[in-house]
Amino acid sequence: MILATLNPATSYSYQLEDRSMSALGGDLREHIEQARSSLVEHRLDELCRRIVSALHSANEDGTVLSPEAWTRAIDVLRALLPYDAPLPTVVIESDGAVGLDWDESANRVLSLTVRDTPMVGYSALLGAEPMYGRMEFSAGKVPETLRFLLARFFPRHTAHAARRLGGR
């Protein structure tokens, strides 16, 4: 069994094929899976809190979020959770879309727009290079475009996570 950590507080990596046959190896596998699940659930809880806070602010302004947009935003966020990248700021836009924003500086911005359709909009500014468009997103699968954007925007955080998601 191989277990490697880049930053014990936030990242994890483990070999998918485990040849350990001992009871201790089985216990270690179970503990690793529990720790991974706990981290993912903690990140999901934090993202849900951010969405609820954004929704509360939007409701004060009279903006309505459809249940479909909420569900799709959760699907997108669940797909992003294995990445060790910082969590996005969540906003409910005036048209009822969910905005997921990473704003590191004036020339490093990534924004995803999730509506109640299968398409997810994106816009990014990486240095002097703007990128924007739409991609189809289905639950549980990270589109190649999104993997590319995350790897460009968070190279140190996503190198090993991108390998884990290759099959997703």
Read off the pLDDT of residues 33-52 as tens digits, 9 standing for 90 and up.
655 556 667 777 887 788 78
pTM of the model: 0.67
Q: Is residue 15 part of a domain?
A: no
Q: What is the predicted pLDDT for the residue at 134?
A: 96
The number of domains in the chain is 1
pLDDT at 103 over 80: yes
Q: Is 34 exposed, middle or buried (0-12, 13-18, 19+ CB in 10 A)?
A: exposed
Q: Is residue 47 part of a domain?
A: yes
Confidence bin at 57 (pLDDT 50/70/90) = confident
Confidence bin at 121 (pLDDT 50/70/90) = very high
Percentage of the chain modeled with pLDDT above 70: 66
Confidence bin at 16 (pLDDT 50/70/90) = very low
In tens, the pLDDT along 126-137 reads 889 899 999 999
Distance, in Å, from the CA atom of 130 to the CA atom of 114, rounded to the nearest integer, reads: 19
Looking up tokens 């277990």 gives 3
Q: Is residue 4 part of a domain?
A: no
Helix ranges restricted to H, 18-81:
23-60, 67-80
Q: Is residue 2 part of a domain?
A: no
Q: Is residue 124 part of a domain?
A: yes
Q: Is residue 62 part of a domain?
A: yes
For helices 144-153 and 155-164, the axis angle rounded to 10 degrees is 150
Q: Is residue 121 part of a domain?
A: yes
Range of the domain at 154: 20-164
Q: Is residue 41 part of a domain?
A: yes
In tens, the pLDDT along 83-94 reads 667 788 999 988
